[in-house]
A = this chain, B = another copy of it.
Amino acid sequence: MKYTEFEIISKYFKRNQKKDVNEIKGIGDDSALIKIPKNNILAISTDTLVEGTHFLKNISPEDLGYKTVAVNLSDLAAMGAEPKWTTLSITMPESNNIWLKKFSSSFFKILNKYNVRLIGGDTNRGSLSITLSMYGLLKKQIALLRSNASIGDLIYVTGTLGESAAGLFLLKKNIFIKNVNIRNYLIKKHLNPIPRVSEGMALRKIANAAIDLSDGLIADLDHILNDSQCGANINLNKIPISKVLIDNFQSQNYLNWALNVGEDYELCFTISKKNIDKLKIIKKKFLVNFTCIGYITPIEQGFNLFDNQKKIIFKKKGFNHFD
């Protein structure tokens, strides 16, 4: 059975989510209405996921529902904002009920996990594409801006890098691995990245600058360097690589994935040396590791990668949709 646009919204996207006192009007009017608590500012991130560009054609509705939310949560995490509300615009070729049921269940599961309420959006017909906007709160003076890195800051990343890219290449059959458990583990790392929301919120009082790693460490860190007018020295041997990658792949592969492919949705942040003790305290609260990979230098020194003492020649490319 096919549903109309309004039936789709009322059947799949009007859920009884936990009530929020700041939501004056959610789904169902010409616009949503929200109140921003005193002394808070609103962080707004928007990301579009297009079939064939941001996800493969055969992605499951559950994985797509999850990823749509995760990548936007990751943007807010990189500001240190607390996620609160979201609007969803979904364009699809037809109203397929089984697909919609699976997509919406997974979508609300991750929203509920992070206490985010769906307050509006629309459904349209066309090739599959999803635009999500995510709204978060934070105090004015403590947003983690890309432009706040200072010379001498240490550069950290959360978690390990490169596994998501390995999963992507396994899905695209660019690489092959015999062990099914490892294969599935890496694919899951690609499809279900964990946005570092609590970590971002914990870091906002002590870190200077932050970005989430979606396009690869080189391209993403380069945004911090450009916006902060700084250089950086990064030690390749310090980049956190999981045992799974080290045991199963060549180092030139996994370093390339970490540096140039991305999709890790880990945070990269800079922090003044005077805050290292505070960082140690924060680290204890999280299961994920924070690893120092280098430090910020004056702009004249540029962006340098070292393999121990040896300087490495590299290109700043990152992912470009219009390549």
Residues of chain A at the chain B interface (Cβ within 8 Å)? 2-6, 8, 24-25, 28-36, 38, 41-48, 50-54, 75-76, 78-79, 81, 87, 89, 91, 94-95, 119-127, 129, 131, 133-136, 138, 140, 143, 145-147, 210-212, 227, 320-323
Contact = CB atoms under 8 A, between A and B. Distances in A.
A136 B5 CA distance: 25
Contact of A322 (B87, B95, B212, B322): B95
Contacts of A45: 30-32, 120
Contact of A5 (B33, B143, B322): B322
B79 A4 contact: no
A32 B145 CA distance: 10
A48 B146 contact: no
B131 A50 contact: no
Contacts of A76: 30-31
B91 A31 contact: no
Contacts of A119: 44
B29 A89 contact: no
A120 B133 CA distance: 11
B322 A8 contact: yes
Contact of A2 (B54, B75, B212, B322): B322
A46 B87 contact: yes
Contact of A28 (B5, B125, B210, B227): B227
